[in-house]
């Protein structure tokens, strides 16, 4: 099997919408059908503004995180959500405040979209005591259970049963909340992925399994590790509904997830949604992606979800260019303020906090 497909010229097709690049047949096959953006009628202008703001905030946040990591200001590992903004934001917009999400190692976008405070998030990435997790989680374990964000996780696929468990709580306690389990195409090859779909289906739990199919499990392309790459089709094996959406299109994500969430809330059980896109940046912030053809990456920038929504909002007359710019600048400013806060106003966790929160209620077992 070829690791890199030779690039051949593909003429622009109607199906592919606004893609202009020469891309390989393989890439062509796995890219989503780029559907034209269309704001759904149930979204108010305020909500659309919030969507744009959140997408821009995530873009700014993770763009700056990459720079800060390169400058040694952020420690450890960080995985960028750049390029996936439409998925996290579109999906979380379909949720209520009391609903839950579980996340992945690429969790900044989910956390922000669910409503976590950007300052405390940035402080956490700086490892500060004022951070969301007291400087003990960092990028890979960022969480905010108070707002229903059940945590990023460094073990691929391990968030599956966590979202399922939150749905179980809802079912037993009659809370009527819904959970979304974000996970990647890499996660779909874990045993627990299959088990969780089956268990959620047979217990008819209010959970939406949302695959962020970015085509790469670290450096391995999906087609090299799965024969069936149309992942939503796997839903049939568990007797649930499977849907595929344009993962570069926030409104397409929102509409499909909203339907699935509404169905789950009414007792209709789980749905599997494949948000198909393609990772633009590397697996983690310093991944040079030498295993990919750069043309493939260029091609993805053509479908940049942030660019797409900005263009759409201006072209459709929903917002003026100036308004869009204002929203984007405000988001960027919030991120800059958060960096200043983390850098200058926060403190290192004292050594005395080392044993804090291993056990409940201040119990220490040494």
Residue placing its CB nearer to other proteins in the complex, 301 or 359:
359
Q: Are 223 and 231 in contact (CB under 8 A)?
A: no
Among 87, 163, 210, 235, binds other proteins (CB under 8 A): 163
Residue placing its CB nearer to other proteins in the complex, 196 or 229:
196
Residue 42 burial (CB count, 10 A): 9
Rounded to whole angstroms, the Cα distance separating 82 from 61 reads: 9
Strands 207-213 and 179-184: parallel
Q: Per rule CB under 8 A, is residue 361 in the interface with other proteins? A: yes
Angle made by CA atoms 312, 179, 156, in degrees to the nearest 5: 90
Rounded to whole angstroms, the Cα distance separating 213 from 215 reads: 5
Rounded to whole angstroms, the Cα distance separating 38 from 25 reads: 28
Considering only residues 226 through 245, tell me which ones interact with other proteins, judged by CB under 8 A: none
Among 162, 245, 299, 300, binds other proteins (CB under 8 A): 162
Q: Are 344 and 74 in contact (CB under 8 A)?
A: no
**Least Cβ distance, residue 34 to other proteins (angstroms):** 34
Closest CA to 178 of 79, 258, 277, 88: 258
Q: Per rule CB under 8 A, is residue 29 in the interface with other proteins? A: no
The string over 25-39, giving b where at least 16 C-beta atoms fall within 10 Å of a residue's C-beta and e elsewhere, is: ebbbebbbebeebeb
Among 24, 54, 196, 229, binds other proteins (CB under 8 A): 196
Rounded to whole angstroms, the Cα distance separating 20 from 29 reads: 15
Residue placing its CB nearer to other proteins in the complex, 70 or 202:
202
**Least Cβ distance, residue 183 to other proteins (angstroms):** 13
Among 171, 287, 293, 311, binds other proteins (CB under 8 A): 171
Residue placing its CB nearer to other proteins in the complex, 166 or 281:
166
Residue placing its CB nearer to other proteins in the complex, 47 or 141:
141
The string over 139-159, giving b where at least 16 C-beta atoms fall within 10 Å of a residue's C-beta and e elsewhere, is: bbbbbbeebbbbbbbeebbbb
Stretch of 5-13, 302-310, 330-338, 356-364 contacting other proteins, by CB under 8 A: 356-364
Considering only residues 102 through 161, tell me which ones interact with other proteins, judged by CB under 8 A: 102, 131-137, 141, 143-146, 150-151, 153-155, 158, 160-161
**Least Cβ distance, residue 265 to other proteins (angstroms):** 16
The string over 335-362, giving b where at least 16 C-beta atoms fall within 10 Å of a residue's C-beta and e elsewhere, is: beebbebbeeebeebeeeeeeeeeeeee
Q: Per rule CB under 8 A, is residue 191 in the interface with other proteins? A: yes
Among 1, 2, 172, 351, binds other proteins (CB under 8 A): 172
Q: Per rule CB under 8 A, is residue 225 in the interface with other proteins? A: no
Q: Positive or negative CA dihedral for 276, 280, 285, 290?
A: positive
Among 63, 176, 198, 220, binds other proteins (CB under 8 A): 198
Residue placing its CB nearer to other proteins in the complex, 166 or 300:
166
Q: Per rule CB under 8 A, is residue 351 in the interface with other proteins? A: no
Considering only residues 77 through 106, tell me which ones interact with other proteins, judged by CB under 8 A: 100, 102
Q: Are 28 and 11 in contact (CB under 8 A)?
A: no
**Least Cβ distance, residue 156 to other proteins (angstroms):** 10
User: Which parts of this chain interact with other proteins (CB under 8 A)?
Assistant: 100, 102, 131-137, 141, 143-146, 150-151, 153-155, 158, 160-173, 175, 179, 191-192, 195-196, 198-199, 202-203, 356-361, 363, 365
């Amino acid at each position: 099997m070829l690791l890199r497909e030779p690039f051949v010229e593909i003429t622009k097709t109607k199906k592919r919408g606004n893609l202009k690049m020469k891309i390989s047949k393989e890439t062509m096959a796995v890219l989503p059908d780029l559907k034209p953006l269309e704001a759904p009628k149930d979204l108010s202008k305020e909500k659309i503004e919030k969507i744009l703001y959140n997408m821009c905030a995530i873009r700014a946040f993770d763009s700056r995180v990459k720079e800060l990591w390169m400058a040694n200001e952020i420690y450890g590992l960080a995985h960028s959500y750049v390029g996936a903004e439409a998925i996290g934001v579109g999906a979380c917009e379909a949720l209520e405040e009391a609903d839950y999400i579980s996340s992945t190692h690429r969790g900044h976008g989910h956390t922000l979209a669910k409503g976590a405070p950007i300052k405390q998030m940035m402080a956490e990435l700086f490892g500060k005591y004022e951070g969301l997790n007291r400087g003990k989680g960092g990028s890979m374990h960022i969480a905010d259970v108070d707002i229903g964000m059940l945590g990023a996780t460094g073990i691929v696929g391990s968030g599956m049963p966590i979202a399922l468990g939150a749905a179980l709580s809802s079912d037993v306690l009659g809370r009527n909340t819904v959970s979304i389990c974000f996970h990647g195409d890499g996660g779909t090859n874990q045993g627990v992925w299959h088990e969780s779909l089956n268990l959620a289906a047979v217990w008819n739990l209010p959970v939406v399994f949302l695959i962020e199919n970015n085509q790469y499990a670290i450096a391995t392309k999906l087609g090299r590790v799965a024969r069936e790459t149309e992942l939503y089709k796997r839903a049939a094996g568990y007797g649930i509904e499977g849907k595929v959406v344009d993962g570069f299109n926030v409104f397409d994500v929102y509409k499909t997830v909203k339907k699935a969430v509404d169905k789950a809330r009414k007792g209709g059980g789980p749905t599997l949604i494949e948000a198909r896109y393609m990772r633009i940046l590397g697996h983690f912030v310093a991944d040079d992606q030498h295993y990919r053809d750069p043309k493939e990456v260029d091609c993805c920038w053509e479908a940049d979800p942030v660019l797409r929504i900005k263009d759409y909002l201006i072209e459709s007359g929903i917002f003026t260019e100036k308004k869009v710019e204002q929203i984007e600048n405000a988001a960027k400013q919030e991120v800059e303020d958060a960096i200043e806060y983390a850098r200058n106003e926060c403190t290192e966790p004292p050594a005395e906090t080392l044993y804090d929160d291993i056990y409940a209620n201040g119990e220490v077992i040494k």
